[in-house]
Every structure is written in C-alpha cells, then in structure tokens.
Structure 1
Amino acid sequence: MKNGITLVLVGLGIILISWFVRSDFEVRTYENLQEAMDKSIPFKVNRVIHTTEYDGVTIVMYSTIPDDLAGAQENEALGLAYFKGNDEDGWENVGHHGWSHYHHDQLSLYSEPFREYDSKGRPLHDFHVAYGQIVNPEIIEVKARVDETYEKIDIITNEWKRYYLTIGEVTAIKGLSKDGEVLSKHGE
C-alpha cells in the first residue's frame, strides 16, 4: 500500500515539475514596468493610454481589442492594470484583470474598486478608479461627483482620442460644452 502511495506522489511530482518547466509560468516579479505589462496582463494590450501612481500603486489604463469585439465598428475596450515596484527591486502585478466596453455616443463611465490585503487579511489598499472615453468632440470639460460636489477631471489625450481617469468613489460624471452646458451625464 505504501509503495502505491509513494508511486502516485512521485508521479504527481514529475507531472508538476514537467508542467512548471514547459509552461509559460512567469515569476511574479519583472525587471521593468513594460515587461510586467507584457507578461502579466492576460489580454493583448493594444496601447497604453495613461499611467499614474496612487498610494504606492502604479495604475495603467490600456486599450485592448477582445476577440468577441473584433470586427465591430467600435471594438476598443478599456482595461486597468495595477502594479507595485520599481526598476531596481522589480515590478509585481497586484491587480485583478478585466476590461470594460459599452457603446456610447458622448462619454463612458467605468468604475472599478482596487483592494489589496496582507497575508492576515488586513487592507493594504482600498480605493476606486473611475475612467472612460470622451467621444463627443463638443465635450471640453469633464466633472466627477465625489460625495456631494463636482470636481474637474483632467482630460487625457492619446492618439487623437480623449479619456479621463480619477481616483475616488465617483457617483456621477458629466461632460460639459465650452458654454458649460451638460452634454452627457452618468450616475445620480
């Protein structure tokens, strides 16, 4: 009986070692941010739109063209990736992965929480990221409501397209014309 169990354990060990050696398994630390993005984001990054740092976490907004949107007229989806580190100590992908997409004529709003805990379950990071694309060229200002006040958000231009990204629990967002007219509003 012991010989049978030993044989099974040895067999499993050989299978695991073989899988590890032959798989695309990557170590979790990378030499630079570009390598971390290339090897740890599970989607093909079409382009990096914006990178910012908040609370020791580097947030990367990127576009991807998911398989189920390929060929669609509006096929760009937006995603976020979260990294910690530097080029001296290495980079680690600390976030979850996903992308968001819906058709919009004015501007889109995506809101994503980021939470990271230590090994004892204590929160290391707990914040929200609101982001989207501005489609209507008449929208020249974007404001986000956090609590009860609206605050102006910087507009990010990347390859002739416009986006925004802000940190905080955004409950509403509005796009304004040069005259201050609300052209688009999401949320309450």
Structure 2
Amino acid sequence: MDRRRRRVSEHLRTRRGRLQTRGATGWRDWNPYRSKLAAWLRASGREWPLAPDARVLYLGAAEGTTVAHVGDLCPQGRVAAVEISPTAMAELLPVAERYRNLLPVLADAHFPARYAPQAKGCDFLYQDVAQRDQLDIFRRNWDTYRPRQGLLMLKAPGIRGGAPQAVLDEAETELRAAFATVERSDISRWAKGHAAFWVEG
C-alpha cells in the first residue's frame, strides 16, 4: 500500500458492510441514506479521492452531517462549508467547533466572491444544493476558484419537473460540454431522483 492510501485508510474503512470514518472521538458510521457523498462512494466503487491535506469548498453544508465526515477524512486540510440557511447554520456551528479544519460560512453560493477568504486556493469543489440553477452555481464557483476536481450531487426534481432520467441526461450533456472529464454515478438507490457527477478540468 502506498503512503497516500495508507494515510487515507487510517481515517476510512468498511466494517460489516458499513462505511466508517475516524475522527477525534473514534470510528463512526457513514450512512449513505443520510449522506450523498457516502452514497457516491458506494455507487461509483471509487476509493476516497482526496488527500488528508486537501482544501475543499463545500456548497450546501446544511446541518453538517456530511461535512463532519469530510473533516474526518481531511484532518490536515481545510473545508470551507457554505450554507445559505441561518437555521441550518445554527446547527452547523456546534459541529464546526469540534473540528479545527472546518470553516462555516453563511453565504449564498450564487456569489462565490463573497467567501473568497475562506475558499481561496481550494483544490476540490463539492456541491449539494437543491436550487433550480444547480448547474450554473457549480460552474460559477468552478470558474471562480478553478479547483482540480469536483463532485456535483444533482437533484433532478430541483431543476424542473418531468422524468428525472431525462433531466439528468440533459445535465450530463451540459457538463460534458464544459469539462474534460465527466463520470456519472446513479445514487438513486439512496437518494431518489439524484445522480452524482465527478468532473475534472
């Protein structure tokens, strides 16, 4: 096992069929029904892609369920956790207090320049928001910060009505026109009407 994989394995494992991450309080389950990022790991078959010192821009942090696991997996890195809802932020703040590497940001992801102090230099963009213009938000943040890689959790019903498959197919076409690499994973088993898109350059 190479050094990077060994460092990742210190913080991520599968036990009895369950994903787990390790933080300051020990190992804890990572439920794919509560975290689309965990669902993507299950669906894609990929290894955890980020180094322990990765700098992550996380859009749609909500109450911090998934953000906390990212914090576990990037202990020497930085996670700028952007959330628009003051109610959700009130629940995210106590989570962030337990992690030195989490930076909670109350902001609208439509305006990426507003959180430049926290997000500058990020090498990975993660997005899980439900707005109709999800694709535009993702591209706007990508163009602002130019990360190396990104992962977009796309909610078909959030974009428009109609058959989710058709909505997701259309979104994939748009992404392929904008990015050099696009890999689509079906996570609807865990999150109805959703697909995950891994993108590069």
> TM-score, normalised to structure 2's length?
0.28
Tell which has more relative contact order, 1 or 2 (C-alpha 8 A, sep 6+). Answer: 2
> TM-score, normalised to structure 1's length?
0.30
Higher share of residues assigned helix: 2
